[in-house]
Amino acid sequence: MGSAMRIAAVAACILTLVAACAGQSIVYNNMISAAYRPYLYGYGAGRRDLTTIIVGHPFDIDQDQLDTKLVAMLNESPTFLQPTNFTTTPGQSARPEFKAVILFNRAIVLPNQVCRSPEQVPVAELGTTLRLSATFCRYGGYLSTVTGELKDVTGIDDPRFLQLIRQMVPLLFPPIDPTREDDSRFLIIKGG
């Protein structure tokens, strides 16, 4: 096992233990499409508006407040690549073929279904667990997706919810090309 892989494995174990010990979020189901390329993110979302569709309403606030606060949290979260501007009201800089779909408390389905018809993804009964899924789409297909869960969220202002968003956004826009075998950046683990 190469030193980069050993370091990545140790770091992943430590992050998992720290999150488990602190009763924090669980982030899983991170997938990158074979069609994903970092330059597609740069072209479709980098330094421009990214149309953002929000489905579900888990908090006791109105939809406009949810949209405003969630979009602000998404925009405050760093990416490995250049920044984007998540927005539910895209301007002229937005590329219409690209979008981010954010689902609250929905069933786990194929990511292309999320891109094609997010409103039709069935609701999941999760008790006190909040599930958040984020998918980066181009036309009707997914480029990347990630899901996270958090128990007993007190509201959209719960600091643990912001931490969940900050864990997920960098995974939604990874700096790797899934077709390259020689990608050995630190903390990038590719399934194989």
Q: Check: CB of residue 116 under 8 Å from CB of residue 100.
A: no
CB atoms inside a 10 Å sphere around CB 74: 23
CA 134/CA 23 separation, integer angstroms: 22
Say what the pLDDT of residue 177 is: 84
Say what the pLDDT of residue 184 is: 52
The predicted model gives 107-130 an average pLDDT of: 97
Say what the pLDDT of residue 182 is: 60
Band the pLDDT of 88: cuts 50, 70, 90.
very high
pTM confidence score: 0.83
What residue type is assigned to position 187 of the chain? L
CB atoms inside a 10 Å sphere around CB 93: 11
The predicted model gives 39-49 an average pLDDT of: 96
Say what the pLDDT of residue 178 is: 82
CA distances from 140 to 98, 110, 184 (A): 9, 12, 31
Say what the pLDDT of residue 186 is: 42
Q: Is residue 118's pLDDT more than 80?
A: yes
User: Both tokens of residue 146?
Assistant: 């990630």
Q: Is residue 3's pLDDT more than 50?
A: no
Check residues 101 and 1 and name the one with the higher pLDDT. Answer: 101
pLDDT in tens, 156-173: 999 999 999 999 999 999
Q: How many percent of the chain have pLDDT more than 90? A: 78
Angle at 5 between CA 4 and CA 7, to 5 degrees: 65
CA 118/CA 109 separation, integer angstroms: 10
Cα 161 from chain centroid?
A: 13
CA 89/CA 106 separation, integer angstroms: 23
CA 70/CA 59 separation, integer angstroms: 11
Q: Check: CB of residue 86 under 8 Å from CB of residue 41.
A: no
pLDDT in tens, 11-31: 443 444 444 445 578 999 999
